[in-house]
Amino acid sequence: MKVNPTYQTKESLIELHNKPLLELVFEAATIHRQYHNPREVQMSSLLSIKTGGCSEDCGYCPQAARYHTDVEAHKLMTVESVIEQAKNAKSNGSSRLCMGAAWREVRDNKDFDNVIEMVQAVNDLDMEVCCTLGMMNEQQAVRLKQAGLFAYNHNLDSSPEFYGDVISTREYEDRLNTIDNARKAGITVCSGGIIGMGEAIEDRIGLLMSYMKMENPPESIPINALVAVEGTPLEDQKPIEQWEMIRMVATTRIVFPETVVRLSAGRTKMNMEGQALCFLAGAGSIFAGDKLLTTPNPEFNEDKEMFEILGLIPKMAFADGEKPVTIPDEIIIERKRKEAERALELEAAKGQINSDFEPRKIVQVVSN
Strand partners, 129: 97
262 is catalytic: yes
Collapse the DSSP code of 260 into the 3-class scheme (helix H, G, I; strand E, B; otherwise coil) and give the result.
Answer: strand
- Sheet strands (E) in the chain: 40-50, 96-101, 128-132, 151-153, 188-190, 193-195, 220-225, 260-263, 283-288, 291-292, 295-296, 313-314
Count the neighbouring beta carbons within 10 Å of the beta carbon of residue 2: 12
As a 3-state breakdown, the chain gives helix, strand, coil percent values, each rounded to 5, of 40, 15, 40
Catalytic, out of 96, 131, 143, 190: 190
Choice between 186 and 296, CB closer to ligand SF4: 296
Does 193 participate in binding ligand SF4 (rule CB under 6 A)?
no
* Cβ atoms of residues 251 and 228 within 8 Å: no
Does 102 participate in binding ligand SF4 (rule CB under 6 A)?
yes
Does 61 participate in binding ligand SF4 (rule CB under 6 A)?
yes
Does 58 participate in binding ligand SF4 (rule CB under 6 A)?
yes
* Cβ atoms of residues 286 and 266 within 8 Å: no
> b/e for 154-170, b at 16 or more Cβ within 10 A?
bbbbbbbebbeebbeeb
Catalytic, out of 96, 143, 262, 267: 262
Does 157 participate in binding ligand SF4 (rule CB under 6 A)?
no
Does 64 participate in binding ligand SF4 (rule CB under 6 A)?
yes
Between 108 and 147, how does the x/- string for binding to ligand SF4 read (CB under 6 A)?
--------------------------x-------------
Catalytic, out of 33, 39, 54, 342: 54
Residue 200: CB minimum distance to ligand SF4, A: 22
User: Quick one: which of 63, 140, 242, 275 contacts ligand SF4 (CB under 6 A)?
Assistant: 63
130 is catalytic: yes
Residue 246: CB minimum distance to ligand SF4, A: 25
Choice between 54 and 265, CB closer to ligand SF4: 54
- 351: phi then psi, degrees, rounded to nearest 5: -60, -45
Residue 58: CB minimum distance to ligand SF4, A: 3
Candidate ranges 50-58, 123-131, 209-217, 230-238; the one touching ligand SF4 (CB under 6 A) = 50-58
Give the count of alpha carbons within 13 A of 132, CB side only.
Answer: 22
Choice between 59 and 148, CB closer to ligand SF4: 59
Choice between 229 and 260, CB closer to ligand SF4: 229
Catalytic, out of 61, 175, 253, 267: 61
* Cβ atoms of residues 256 and 2 within 8 Å: yes
Q: How far is the C-alpha of 275 from the C-alpha of 39, rounded, in Å?
A: 14
Q: How far is the C-alpha of 141 from the C-alpha of 146, rounded, in Å?
A: 9
Does 54 participate in binding ligand SF4 (rule CB under 6 A)?
yes
Binding site for ligand SF4 (CB under 6 A): 54, 56, 58, 61, 63-64, 102, 134
Where in the sequence numbering do the catalytic residues fall?
Answer: 54, 58, 61, 98, 130, 190, 262
